[in-house]
A and B are shown apart, each in its own frame.
Chain A
Amino acid sequence: MSELFWILLSAMVINNFTLTLFLGLCPFMGVSSRVATGLRMGAANIFVLVLTSISAWVLNTYVLADAPYLRLISFIVVIASLVQIVEMTIKKVSPTLFRELGIYLPLITTNCAILGLAIFQTSRGYGFLQGFAFALGAGLGLTLALVLMASIREQTELADVPAIARGTALVLIIAGSLSLAFMGFAGLLSAG
């Protein structure tokens, strides 16, 4: 139990996917100008991450044991189809939810956080539950970073940011500062 909790906490804050591992930077830079959008993107990500973790576990356990060289291809194909299926399902089941999340789902396919999760989970040899905790933590961490960045960006829109810093440079500096602040979580639960 405590191991699962640590895995979740680690992926969420200690080794935050975005701020420490630089995964999921595309949405972080692109979709982080509004808090509401960030939240939806985050929710979509959590969902897909958990599904990915489960399918990566299934693939690793039952399919890829003897053909590790096909891992990358299988992952990318499975993730792409998964997102496709999820998109279609949501569209059928809940058009409202689709309007909220739908447009973000195709973007997720090319989000390195998803593939990164599958690869990290494999290389660390996580089991099913560990993978689940990992995916949940990673998703929450992504959402946290995304939403924090979005709320800060909304605020800096009101600021007199010097011309040379406007845009990506400022976002990077803020991300660096956030990453610096997240260093405070280092060693959490390992001090005992």
Chain B
Amino acid sequence: MSPGSVHGPGAPAPPDEPRTPAWRLLATLGSGGALAGLLLVVVYQLTLPRIEAHKAEALQQAIEEVLHDPARFDTLYLNAGQLTRELPAGADPRALERVYLGYDDAETPVGFAITAAEPGFQDVIRLIFGFDPKTGALLGMKVLETKETPGLGDKIEKDSAFVSQFTGVAAPLQGVKKGAGKGKPGEVDLITGATISSRTVVRAINRALERWRPALAAYRERRP
């Protein structure tokens, strides 16, 4: 905005104007604010179901993708180092970290879906991956959010050859240059030309697993 084209909110009124009583100013702003608030509440209520549905759908899609279509999944909250199925009393659900536990048709747990984030080449890469504590192997990986270079770094999301490697690979992962692997478990071929981005994915998963491992282990033990 060019300076001076608009007076600041507190710019003094031109002297030739009649003085407006303060109550009128407050009343105008107050009633305007109230009307705006009212309008927004209405719109919010109208759009909320669809927005929530979109979000839930996106989450469900991601979980289904990394846990390979589980029959259903539970949300587990991390509270004081423990994973709990129920929201602890009085806790703010937004403040708690969580993982998702998927079950197959026979109600057997198939694995956890865990989100992770690490700074990549351009900005933070956020992803979700499925992990089966029984085998110690990954079930799948899906990038949720990335601003990596189009055509290069965004291959972590779009290159199916890269993404499919995260199914069945043993943790912790080890990123290797394409074709330079020695056949060890846990090896993931990095993307040529997008080494940093693909390595960030590997690192994000490894770090998340490291962080979650005690809680996941503890949770398994308590189950019959």
Contact of A110 with B9 at beta-carbon distance under 8 Å, contacts A15-B122, A190-B121 already known: no
- B96: A residues at CB distance < 8 A: none
Dominant secondary structure of chain A at its interface with chain B = helix
Per-position binary interface string of chain B over residues 165-204, scored 1 when its CB falls under 8 Å from any chain A CB and 0 otherwise: 0000000000000000000000000000000100110000
Question: Are A30 and B119 in contact, CB atoms less than 8 angstroms apart?
Answer: no
How far does the Cβ of A24 sit from chain B's closest Cβ, in whole Å?
A: 12
How far does the Cβ of B35 sit from chain A's closest Cβ, in whole Å?
A: 12
* A110 vs B1: C-alpha distance when bound (angstroms): 7
Question: Are B121 and A186 in contact, CB atoms less than 8 angstroms apart?
Answer: yes
Per-position binary interface string of chain B over residues 107-133, scored 1 when its CB falls under 8 Å from any chain A CB and 0 otherwise: 000000000001111111000000000
Number of contacts between A and B (CB, 8 Å)?
56
How far does the Cβ of B133 sit from chain A's closest Cβ, in whole Å?
A: 27
Interface presence of B43 (CB below 8 A): yes
- B196: A residues at CB distance < 8 A: 187, 190-191
Question: Are A70 and B37 in contact, CB atoms less than 8 angstroms apart?
Answer: yes
Closest to B123 in A: A15
A67-123 at interface with B (beta carbon < 8 Å): 68-70, 73, 80, 84, 87, 103, 106-107, 109-110
Contact of A73 with B120 at beta-carbon distance under 8 Å, contacts A30-B3, A107-B1, A110-B1 already known: no
Question: Are A187 and B8 in contact, CB atoms less than 8 angstroms apart?
Answer: no
Question: Are B122 and A106 in contact, CB atoms less than 8 angstroms apart?
Answer: no
- B9: A residues at CB distance < 8 A: 80, 84, 109
Interface presence of B160 (CB below 8 A): no
Closest to A112 in B: B1
* A73 vs B33: C-alpha distance when bound (angstroms): 9
Contact of A190 with B120 at beta-carbon distance under 8 Å, contacts A69-B41, A110-B1 already known: yes
- A interface residues with partner B (beta carbon < 8 Å): 6, 10, 14-15, 26, 30, 65, 68-70, 73, 80, 84, 87, 103, 106-107, 109-110, 124, 186-187, 189-191
Q: Top 8 A-B pairs ranked by shortest CB distance? A: A106-B8, A69-B44, A187-B121, A190-B119, A187-B196, A69-B40, A110-B1, A84-B10
A-B contact pairs, 16 of them (CB 8 A): A15-B122, A15-B147, A69-B44, A70-B40, A73-B36, A80-B9, A103-B3, A107-B1, A110-B1, A124-B124, A186-B121, A186-B122, A186-B149, A189-B119, A190-B196, A191-B199
